[in-house]
Structure 1
Amino acid sequence: YTDWYFHHHIQPHFSLEEQHLFPILGEDHPLVKRAMAQHRRLKRLFTDEYEFKRNLSRIEDELESHIRFEERVLFQEIQAQISKSQTELPEILHRELPYEENMSDPFWE
């Protein structure tokens, strides 16, 4: 289930942020660098097949910390820098990622 969730939700979400939101501040901005480092760490945790059980707990901690950082710090800075013509961009990005669930996964049995 975590593999499915990573490929259907986490990875597309990261890609949209990296392509559309982070360029507003620029790749050299310290907050963007921090977010990119967090994305890389989370990708490694989701894709490491050898430490899976240990990584589940780490994924929970890292993802919670990452979401808090984005909501409270990074997105506030992006919002402050965004032009009036770009103010709908975050809303548009979230509309492009409809949420779907995979209740048929054996995880739920």
Structure 2
Amino acid sequence: MTWSAVLALAAGTYLVRLAGILLRDRVTLPPRLARLTDLGATALLLALVATATFTEDGGFAGWARPAGVLVGAVAAWRRVPFLLVVVLAAGTTAGLRALGVP
């Protein structure tokens, strides 16, 4: 990739973000479209989590990582402190991998 392409993409990203700030008070979305926008952001976040959980190098990541994510999700749902959520998820994954679970 050339520097001109990097600079053009950076400028485009900046302008899109600036447009959001400048047009926030001028453009109003219908309630249905605003709701769909919120749902779209949630769906995108879940898709990123699912991709990171189940895939590695273009293939299945194994069962240890999804198990760790599940333990972390349950701990977060139970409102466990964040540091403990991370330790539980990582510990579960590491423990399963130590036992030979891929």
**Global fold match (TM > 0.5):** no
Instruction: Name the TM-score, length of structure 2 as normaliser.
Output: 0.30
More contact order relative to length (CA 8 Å, sep ≥ 6)? 1
Instruction: Name the TM-score, length of structure 1 as normaliser.
Output: 0.28
Larger Rg, first or second structure (1 or 2): 2
